[in-house]
Chains A and B, each alone.
Chain A
Amino acid sequence: MSWTWFHKLASPPHAYRILGTIAPWFGWASLALILLATWWGLVKAPADYQQGDGFRILYVHAPSAWMSMFTYVVMAVAAGVGLIWRIKLAHAAAAACAPIGASFTFLALATGSIWGKPMWGTWWVWDARLTSELLLLFLYLGYMALRASFDDPQRADRASAVLALVGVINVPIIHYSVEWWSTLHQPASVTKFDKPSIDLAMLIPLFIMIVGFQLYFGWAVSRRLRGEILRRERNANWLKEAA
């Protein structure tokens, strides 16, 4: 198989141009879907039989929690690609992912905590998901701190890539261990039947919201990546020509 297309795609001017073209599409589509899902979730979807309207925070909490994991995986894959094939664009993409992932994680934590108030009666519980989300936030912060502490961008790229890869092996271990630990403190949910655990009328807006978040991620990464390319290539000829 020829890798030429791949390297062409990964060349900074080319990538910069493509990202500039697709970013607005991602942006508008995500805005539309998130607005639709917000209206659907907050107004149209019925209240929950136990939690009433409080459950509606699910529409922000669940997608952001999901995206926080997804972003970490994307980041680690990009870092791995950058490390193995020495592609700078991949490193730049990993760097672009980290703050976005950290924001998703923070959002998931904040909404989880707000949700905890009506649900458990306290702002914070050492619930499995919340705890492993907190540790994920620490991993993101560590990644960004490590990256920031190198002066040389190339060393920063590779050192943080090693950390991202170590982290991606650890994330499942951390996640599992926390879940397991949490069942020792929190009651395990003793499920009754294998019935759909969420009603369809509630599921549709959630699904739309997740797609909207994904598109938002695409938009945010494109924008940040363009910034990264500009920063890294500030002395390159193609930029001077373009300007």
Chain B
Amino acid sequence: MTPRQKRMVTVVAIVAGVGIATAFALKAFNQNLLYYYSPTQVHAGEAPDSRSIRVGGLVENGSLKRQPGSMEVTFVLTDYQQTVPVSYTGVLPDLFREGQGVIARGKMDGNRFVAEEVLAKHDENYMPPEVADSLKPHMDAANSAAGAPAAAATPAPGST
């Protein structure tokens, strides 16, 4: 092989290597990298009920109920398609609010999800309280509207 050909082979090998790497990365992105199930998936029976899983969704407005005299709370998780009732005993995080996204870790118990841990997070929105108030009715309307766009509940990969 002449040095020129040798260089060509090297260049082709590098391009092929990067290509294979890209192919694997793309393939991986198509996999379900997310670690939690949406309420829709839970209803479709995709989530195993034998072991601990995570369910993610929004806390439905008006669904949060505290049991008097105990630490137990119940609320409903929704992805605007389906809902899952959740019960949890313990202290809820500060940012836990109705209408917010949360992840609950626990097990299915029949139709009810018994959470061992509830994680909440502030969203990416920054706005003055007045603006938030003015948005409220709009959100409530969307909450109850049937057939809200499925994409609306798509989780954005971890963002602050």
How many angstroms from the CA of A198 to the CA of B103 in the assembled complex? 23
Candidates A46, A188, A199, A202; contact of B56 at CB < 8 Å: A188
- A177, chain B: closest CB distance, angstroms: 11
- A80, chain B: closest CB distance, angstroms: 17
How many angstroms from the CA of A179 to the CA of B35 in the assembled complex? 13
Flag if A189 contacts B95 (CB, 8 Å). no
Flag if B126 contacts A199 (CB, 8 Å). yes
19 A-B pairs with CB atoms under 8 Å apart are A47-B128, A49-B131, A49-B133, A121-B93, A128-B159, A183-B34, A184-B35, A186-B158, A187-B56, A187-B120, A188-B36, A189-B124, A189-B155, A190-B101, A191-B124, A193-B152, A194-B152, A198-B124, A202-B128
Question: B93 to chain A: which residues have CB within 8 Å?
Answer: 121
Count: A-B pairs, CB below 8 Å: 121
Candidates A49, A128, A197, A202; contact of B124 at CB < 8 Å: A197
Question: B157 to chain A: which residues have CB within 8 Å?
Answer: 179-180, 183, 188
| Interface presence of B23 (CB below 8 A) | no
Flag if B139 contacts A188 (CB, 8 Å). no
| Interface presence of A113 (CB below 8 A) | no
Flag if A197 contacts B125 (CB, 8 Å). yes
Flag if B155 contacts A188 (CB, 8 Å). yes
Flag if B36 contacts A192 (CB, 8 Å). no
| Interface presence of B129 (CB below 8 A) | yes
| Interface presence of B142 (CB below 8 A) | yes
Do A187 and B103 contact each other (CB < 8 Å), given the known contacts A182-B158, A192-B123?
yes
| Interface presence of A236 (CB below 8 A) | no
- The dominant DSSP class at the A interface is loop
Question: A149 to chain B: which residues have CB within 8 Å?
Answer: none
| Interface presence of A228 (CB below 8 A) | no
Excluding A49-B128, A128-B160, 17 further A-B contacts by CB distance (< 8 Å) are: A46-B130, A49-B133, A50-B97, A128-B159, A130-B160, A184-B35, A186-B121, A187-B121, A188-B155, A189-B124, A189-B155, A191-B101, A192-B99, A192-B139, A195-B135, A197-B125, A202-B127
| Interface presence of B156 (CB below 8 A) | yes
How many angstroms from the CA of A4 to the CA of B154 in the assembled complex? 53
| Interface presence of A235 (CB below 8 A) | no
Question: B57 to chain A: which residues have CB within 8 Å?
Answer: 190
Question: B56 to chain A: which residues have CB within 8 Å?
Answer: 187-188, 190
Flag if B122 contacts A51 (CB, 8 Å). yes
| Interface presence of A129 (CB below 8 A) | yes
| Interface presence of A201 (CB below 8 A) | yes
CB closest residue in chain A, given B128: A46
Question: B156 to chain A: which residues have CB within 8 Å?
Answer: 188-189, 191
Do A48 and B128 contact each other (CB < 8 Å), given the known contacts A183-B34, A189-B159?
yes
Flag if A202 contacts B120 (CB, 8 Å). no
Do A187 and B119 contact each other (CB < 8 Å), given the known contacts A48-B128, A198-B126?
yes
Question: B34 to chain A: which residues have CB within 8 Å?
Answer: 183, 188
Which residues of B, 5-45, contact A by the 8 Å Cβ criterion? 33-36
